Amino acid sequence: MARSFPHGDSRRGSSPRIIVIGGGIAGLTAAIALWRAGCDVRVFEQAAELNEVGAGITLWSNATVVLARLGVLERLRELGHRARGGMIGTDRGKIISRLDPHGPGKDLAMPEILAIHRAELQQTLFDALPGTTVTLAARCTGFDQDDSGVTAHFADRADERGALLIGADGIHSVIRAQLWGDEAPRYAGYTCWRGITAPAADVAGHSGEIWGRGQRFGIVPIGGQRIYWYATANAKRGNSDPPGARKKRLLQRFAGWQFQVPEIIESTPDTAILHNDILDRPPRTTWTRGRVTLVGDAAHATTPNLGQGAAMAIEDSIVLARAVTERGDLGAALAAYEAARVERTTMITGLSRRLGRMFQWENPAARWLRDRLFAMTPASIHRRQLDRIARYDASRVALPGPDS
């Protein structure tokens, strides 16, 4: 059945509403893309205030190319830090490989890597929307849909009716659960701590990732003398540190690591260290039912090994906005959106999971071999592999389907 759909234009005020559940990176970028395409869009976020976690995030060029089209990249560049390269090293201080814009493989232009505080990213996205677009303290509990529209229900406010509902409510999405059942996300086998600090020592030169036995440590400058760091370790699911002991335990785990890892941990207040298990979801081949679809982690939660979770959410946003404005009816729009997105997000989610497993290896012989292979691979090949993911412009990819 063809359901006519609002094409974005000056009829915004009178066109049927698009409801977005969740005001994270996915929900806000989807709203910006739809708003800029001329749609009437509203975001409903459960949190009473914007509260992105105190950590950083890297945005690869496949994300920044879209953010440029959404008109927010210049502001993000002012706030964040543009990485010029990075290294992979060992806990004993050896460099395994280095991505250097001036080194071997320099003929291939370095993809942009912008690193930024998550709160600054979220605020910039929020500021790009008209003031009435985002409603805070609105926790969605589910939806009903029929031929004429979709109704979102909330715990603490009146229902909202629209033509399309987009679930951007993250890895524990209630919208996804209603569509496909309430399966728990899967644990990757390792856990992660994150923090932001301004260490006394100059550690910007150590930007990159350091590998040890079943543990990693990442160092990412995010602008304004600050660095964002993350640490991973193989562990049982749900292991947590007693209150106040997080930093002490991390210092024990990473004792003796080179590249000033202990100094970086030491310079971070215990209460500012975040801890989460690493989760993802097995990819699905469909995200849509009727007038309801998913974006971001709600659709394709991934492990963070390729730094692509938010990037894929940002890609989703522009493809969905294009599909909605370029296709004649809702069914065709959502089919085109999915057809353009499922294969790529499935590829990235699978690759990230496999790489994560390999990066977390404990066996000394396997680690030695892995490190040798990485060291011997020419920089130009590392760069080409990255390009497969980073050199991708979602605003230009063909939209599959009958109208293409």
Ligand X SMILES: Cc1cc2nc3c(=O)[nH]c(=O)nc-3n(C[C@H](O)[C@H](O)[C@H](O)COP(=O)(O)OP(=O)(O)OC[C@H]3O[C@@H](n4cnc5c(N)ncnc54)[C@H](O)[C@@H]3O)c2cc1C
Interaction site with ligand X (CB under 6 A): 21-27, 44-47, 57-58, 139-140, 168-170, 174, 192, 194, 230, 276, 296-298, 304, 307-311, 313
Whether the CB-CB separation of 30 and 174 falls below 8 Å is answered with no
The answer to whether 324 and 5 are in contact (CB under 8 A) is yes
- Tell the smallest beta-carbon distance from residue 302 to ligand X (Å): 7
Closest distance of CB 132 from ligand X, Å: 17
Q: Which is nearer to ligand X, 276 or 385 (CB)?
A: 276
First-to-last C-alpha distance (Å) of the chain: 19
Element (DSSP H or E) covering residue 218: strand 215-223
Least Å from the CB of residue 111 to ligand X: 13
Please report how close the Cβ of residue 23 comes to ligand X at its closest, in angstroms.
5
CA distance 273 to 62: 29
Q: Which is nearer to ligand X, 116 or 336 (CB)?
A: 116
Q: Which is nearer to ligand X, 26 or 330 (CB)?
A: 26
Measured from the CB of residue 213, what is the shortest distance to ligand X in angstroms? Answer: 20
Quote the least distance from Cβ 91 to ligand X, whole Å: 20
Closest CB to ligand X among residues 38, 56 = 56
Planar angle of CA 72, 348, 315, nearest 5 degrees: 25
**What is the rounded CA–CA span in Å between residue 308 and residue 220?**
15
Q: Which residue, 79 or 326, has its beta carbon nearer to ligand X?
A: 79
Local structure of 140: helix, strand or coil: strand
Q: Do residues 359 and 211 lie in contact, with contact meaning Cβ atoms separated by under 8 Å?
A: yes
Least Å distance between CB 139 and ligand X? Answer: 5
State the Cα–Cα distance between residues 377 and 381, nearest whole angstrom.
Answer: 7
The angle at the Cα of 379, spanning 373 to 383, to the nearest 5 degrees, equals: 110
Whole-number Å distance between alpha carbons of 78 and 61 = 16
CB of 328 to ligand X, least distance (A): 28
Q: Is 314 exposed, middle or buried (0-12, 13-18, 19+ CB in 10 A)?
A: buried
- φ, ψ for residue 52 (rounded to 5)? -55, 150
The token duo for 215 is 């543990």
Phi then psi for residue 297, to 5 deg, are -60, -25
**Residue closer to ligand X (CB basis): 8 or 307:** 307
User: By C-beta, is 27 or 111 nearer to ligand X?
Assistant: 27
The smaller minimum CB distance to ligand X, of residues 140 and 330, is found at 140
